[in-house]
Structure 1
Amino acid sequence: MADAKERKILVAVDEGLESMYALSWSLHNLISQASNDTIILIYAKPPRTLYTSPDGYLFSPDMLASIDKCRNDLASSIIEKAKKMCREQGDNEVKVEVIIESGDPRDVICQAADKIHADVLVMGSHGYGLIKRAFLGSVSNHCAQNVKCPVLIVKKPKSSSSATGTK
């Protein structure tokens, strides 16, 4: 039997439970026993927001360094949690790569998917209603409209009865 084509499965992760559920779902449903697949975890650090007072006061360099350290620590923590999930839940030795970029998550994810020629982009859904999506925007919706590869949006069940299809 010929070797299976290696797929690049790009999974967007953030601090929400929804993205970790999407990663878990991917490990159980997309990765096969005999696969050469690579899970590529992507985390988009939101751009640093600076606020100034009316007199033009800016944060000191020490404060900015502390803010950057916190942002980097958060990114590392999320990626480590996701990598641990890949080790523990993967049916086989799952190859894992990591991308951490700064910027608007919509742009970062779309650019990465195109750059690496992802075979599929997997994202969790926060389940925002129509009003919240209108004001906050939907990262998954934006990516679904703008990337060239298929996008799989995984919605976390609200309860265990929802997961089994019973009401």
Structure 2
Amino acid sequence: MVVGHLFMRLFPTGGLIAMTPRILIAFDGSSPAGQAIVRAVEWFPADSEFHAVYVHGTGETIRIPVAIPPHAATGGLDPEPGLERRIEKQEREFVEKKIRDLTEEHGVQIRLHWRRGDPRHEIVQAATDLGADVVVIGSRGHGRISRLLLGSVSSFVVEHAPVSTLVVR
């Protein structure tokens, strides 16, 4: 199914201009995120500008207080130096490979954007920064309790994105 072959934008002067749609796909490496890419490629023309945004979480999305000292698990020593950088490097390689595979499989170009922070806010900001025409995001299908406690990235993006958002289930 193709949503539209041509995007038109109305300018304040009353003129219309044909444009290539700019599609932002939220990607976290999960199966629902992979489905979001597949659906975006199916729904929008192949000459669309496809952008995937991956957000490396900073761990500040949810804080749970605990009574365990920070370095108790490591015998009071700081965790291995450089460990976080190595994990982020492996994460980046994994995501880049997934995007490369999906690009080759579907015959489209997908430009990957790497961000750090809270995925909810970073996806919304990426839509603004890139001038996206639409955001496509997968839904993990969390239950009501989980959504209440953790929040839903897709729900937040639907509510706060500056453009329409398609949620793929």
When normalised by structure 2's length, the TM-score is 0.76
Report what 1:16 is aligned to: 30
- Choose the corresponding residue for 2:166, options 128, 152, 156: 152
Could you say what the CA RMSD is over the residues aligned between the two structures, in angstroms? Answer: 2.4
Q: Is the 8 A contact 1:52 1:58 kept in 2?
A: no
Q: Is the 8 A contact 1:43 1:75 kept in 2?
A: no
Matches of 1:101 and 1:78 in 2, distance apart? 12
Report what 1:98 is aligned to: 112
CA deviation after TM superposition for structure 1 residue 122, in Å: 0.5
Report what 1:59 is aligned to: 78
Report what 2:155 is aligned to: 141
- Choose the corresponding residue for 2:49, options 33, 38, 47: 38
Relative to 1, partners in 2 of residues 1:40 and 1:121: Cα closer, same or farther, differing over 3 Å? same
When normalised by structure 1's length, the TM-score is 0.77
User: For structure 1, which runs of at least 5 residues remain unmatched after alignment?
Assistant: 156-167
Percent of aligned pairs with the same amino acid: 26
- Choose the corresponding residue for 1:132, options 132, 137, 146: 146
How many residue pairs align between the two structures?
144
User: For structure 2, which runs of at least 5 residues remain unmatched after alignment?
Assistant: 1-5, 7-16, 61-68
CA deviation after TM superposition for structure 1 residue 39, in Å: 0.8
Q: Is the 8 A contact 2:55 2:116 kept in 1?
A: yes
Which structure 1 residue ranges, 4+ long, deviate > 2 Å from structure 2?
Answer: 57-60
CA deviation after TM superposition for structure 1 residue 48, in Å: 5.3
Matches of 1:138 and 1:75 in 2, distance apart? 23
CA deviation after TM superposition for structure 1 residue 58, in Å: 5.9
1:123 paired with 2:140, answer: no
1:107 paired with 2:125, answer: no
